Amino acid sequence: MRLSELSGKEIVDLERAERMGILGHADLEIDEQDGKIQALIIPLGKWNAFKRSQQETRVSWSRLKKVGQDMIIFDLSDY
């Protein structure tokens, strides 16, 4: 599967059934030696009064359970 095919899909946590973000707004952590995806870095922006605090979470690619037509499902149950 190409990266362009993943772009725009919702990232969902299977355990909490929560939307974590959209791929395209997330960064990929890629191993420089073999070119494999190691993790997704997902921004968790929250609005506080007049400014936005930017936090992020790192989700290991090994937690991936399913890539569907509209979403990517991760299992973060004991993460």
CATH architecture of residue range(s) 3-74:
Roll (2.30)
In one-letter notation, the amino acid at residue 33 is Q
Per-residue pLDDT of the chain (79 residues; tens, 9 = 90+): 677 787 888 889 998 888 888 877 778 899 999 999 899 888 765 544 455 556 788 889 999 999 999 999 999 887 5
pLDDT for the residue numbered 42: 80
Q: Which two tokens stand for residue 55?
A: 């936090």
Say what the pLDDT of residue 54 is: 63
**Domain ranges across the chain:** 3-74
Q: What does the block give as tokens for 21?
A: 């973000």
- Nearest CA-CA partner of 7 in 23, 21, 20, 18: 23
Residue 6: what pLDDT? 79
pLDDT of residue 79: 59
User: For the chain, how are helix, strand and coil distributed in percent, rounded to 5?
Assistant: 10, 50, 40
Give the strand order in the sheet containing 64-67. Answer: 18-22, 10-13, 71-74, 64-67
pLDDT the model gives residue 31: 93
